[in-house]
Structure 1
Amino acid sequence: MPLFPKLSLALVVAASLGFAAHSVAAEGMPPVPSSISKQDKLRAGVRCDQPPYGYQDNNGDFAGVEVEMSRQIAEWALGSKDSVTFTCVTAENRVPQLLGRKVDLLIATLGVTPERQRVIAFTQPYRWGASDVLVRKDSGIEKIDDLKGKTLATLKGSVQAKWFEERMPEVKTLRLNSAADALQSFRQGRADAYTHDAATLVVVTGNDDSLRLVQEPFQISDAAIGLRKGEDEWQTYLSAAVERMHEERLFRPWIEQYVPEAIRGYYLSVFEQPKPEESH
């Protein structure tokens, strides 16, 4: 008989603690939209093949800086970092996944472009990024112009594919579904070079000394969280979350967690330093 009163008291205390945690998490933040607060879990679209931003580790667990961002938003909005489910998205399908309401937001190496702004909404940027080109060390490719007449591996639906299509149609692009496929095709010799976000390519060169970057950055742009148009409250909330992450300097420990020390400086700069001017 005494068991039930104790159990009831435990439930009351647990509920109180849960409410307090949610209240503290929301402190200083705009109201959470009701469409989000009524959910048990936040649904985040993340990359699964883009370390250190988003990937699945050897145990199949989601990891990376953008995954940690998603968990932090879940804690502030729903009271727990565990209140989030992840959906793997690619450069090609991430916007359709968002528009199809499969996810509540995209934190998926998503660059802000005029074309995308016509279709979806963005928060304030959380970092800037640039594109570069990966080649073999013994390659004669020293600058982007040297790619004319050559084959370049890239991702379907990526900003890099569009950039080369519009500015350098002389370059043949081999468009693959994932970063892993594009890199493998390049390694197998199906392409002379591979273009992607410079931050991603820095990781590749850090693990393979037979490769190098052309080091002619292009397509310098902002990266932001993507959401559906018309969700103004959610946009305000997510922008406030990004601002709070910067104010509390949360990106630094995440970068230290996921990025090897030898290449850490690059990632700290794109999250903490102003965006440079594009020279190309």
Structure 2
Amino acid sequence: MTLLRHLARTALAAAAVAAGLSAAAAQALPPVPKAIQAAGVLRAGVRCDQPPYGYKDESGNFSGIETDMAIQIAAWAFGAPDKIELTCVTAENRIPQLMGKKVDILLATLGVTPERARVIDFSKPYRWGGSDMLVAKDSPIRKLDDVAGKTVVMLKGSTQAKWFEDNMPKVETLRLNTASDALQALKQGRGDAYTHDAATLVVVAAKDPSLRLVGESFAVTDAAAGLRKNDPEWLAYVDAALARMKAEGLYAKWVDKWVPADLRPFYADAFAKPKPTAR
């Protein structure tokens, strides 16, 4: 993916300044690790096709809640929100991008799983997220078990791909690289359902009357920032920054900024309430 510099004059960066640079309200953060300082910018991997968490708007600007989180960390670490380089990552390549030192942090709809924890470190979770399925409005699929014997579209390397392997191995799967490819496959009839993060699918369903959510949550996981292992100073800094975001009410502000009013309670709960139990 192309590495892009996000400029301070954009509305996104300006909002980050307004949200978090008040010295009077500042919550103390530990020192920025020397390796991060030496880079001169925060190199962050974000999603570019996952509204409202990370996506590009019609003008090609990086947008979304987790994108704002990355910009805010840069603002605190370097004193300016433009000290950031944002890289588009996918479910499949985000961890390789981190391990290959292309980025220093992932804020990329990254679910906490034991398999991933063997490879990378996670920050303390900042939200939870469940999975759901998107189907055609007239589909007979009404619950998760209805996909038995059918084809489910999903992203390579996703939480959903692992969940179906472990829990519904007889379901046929079509694994694609991007959310836009997966949605197109569903609309073309190449799959009977498309599974992904419920928070992403609810936005898609709200915009497209030909589709609907099945409405059965499964594979509920915490979401956290991803970092390379053996860097305790950077982990401590990120944890402190995330705690400050919560203390200053920034998550709620970003939900209001990026989420349509009728969907805000769904997202607000993910940041503010305990993770629910689900299949």
Structure-2 residue corresponding to 1:95: 95
- Superposed CA deviations along residues 170-221 of structure 1, whole A, max 9, x for unmatched, are 2100000001100110011110000000000000111012211111100111
- Aligned counterparts of 1:277 and 1:147: Cα–Cα separation in 2: 21
Instruction: Tell me if 1:253 matches 2:250.
Output: no
Which range is displaced more, 249-258 or 24-33? 24-33
The DSSP-based 3-state class of the residue aligned with 1:221 is strand
The DSSP-based 3-state class of the residue aligned with 2:189 is coil
**Mapping 1:1-280, distance limit 5 Å:** 28-278=28-278, 280=279
- Aligned counterparts of 1:35 and 1:25: Cα–Cα separation in 2: 27
Q: Following TM superposition, where does structure 1 have runs of at least 4 consecutive aligned residues deviating by more than 4 angstroms?
A: 21-27
Which range is displaced more, 83-92 or 27-36? 27-36
- Aligned counterparts of 2:246 and 2:23: Cα–Cα separation in 1: 21
- Superposed CA deviations along residues 212-255 of structure 1, whole A, max 9, x for unmatched, are 11111001110000000001000000001111111111011111
Which range is displaced more, 102-111 or 23-32? 23-32
The DSSP-based 3-state class of the residue aligned with 2:39 is coil
- Aligned counterparts of 1:209 and 1:126: Cα–Cα separation in 2: 31
For residue 72 of structure 1, what is the amino acid of its counterpart?
Answer: Q
- Aligned counterparts of 1:27 and 1:164: Cα–Cα separation in 2: 42
- Aligned counterparts of 2:97 and 2:232: Cα–Cα separation in 1: 19
Structure-2 residue corresponding to 1:9: none
Which range is displaced more, 24-33 or 182-191? 24-33
* Contact 2:45–2:103 (Cα < 8 Å) also in 1: yes
- Aligned counterparts of 2:182 and 2:229: Cα–Cα separation in 1: 31
- TM superposition shift of 1:122: 0.5
- Aligned counterparts of 2:139 and 2:27: Cα–Cα separation in 1: 54
The DSSP-based 3-state class of the residue aligned with 1:29 is coil
* Contact 1:47–1:89 (Cα < 8 Å) also in 2: yes
- Aligned counterparts of 1:24 and 1:77: Cα–Cα separation in 2: 17
- Aligned counterparts of 1:22 and 1:253: Cα–Cα separation in 2: 15
* Contact 1:22–1:79 (Cα < 8 Å) also in 2: no
- TM superposition shift of 1:108: 0.2
The DSSP-based 3-state class of the residue aligned with 2:205 is helix
- TM superposition shift of 1:272: 1.2
For residue 148 of structure 1, what is the amino acid of its counterpart?
Answer: A
* Contact 2:27–2:244 (Cα < 8 Å) also in 1: no
Give the gaps of 5 or more residues in structure 1. 1-20
> Across the two proteins, how many residue pairs are aligned to each other?
259
Provide TM-score, normalisation by structure 1.
0.90
The DSSP-based 3-state class of the residue aligned with 1:212 is strand
Give the gaps of 5 or more residues in structure 2. 1-20
- TM superposition shift of 1:59: 1.1
* Contact 2:132–2:214 (Cα < 8 Å) also in 1: yes
For residue 229 of structure 1, what is the amino acid of its counterpart?
Answer: K
- TM superposition shift of 1:22: 11
**% identical equivalent positions:** 59
Q: Cα gap change, 1:82/1:22 in structure 2, threshold over 3 Å: closer, same or farther?
A: farther
Higher Rg of the two aligned structures? 1
Q: Cα gap change, 1:255/1:140 in structure 2, threshold over 3 Å: closer, same or farther?
A: same
State the superposition RMSD in angstroms.
1.5
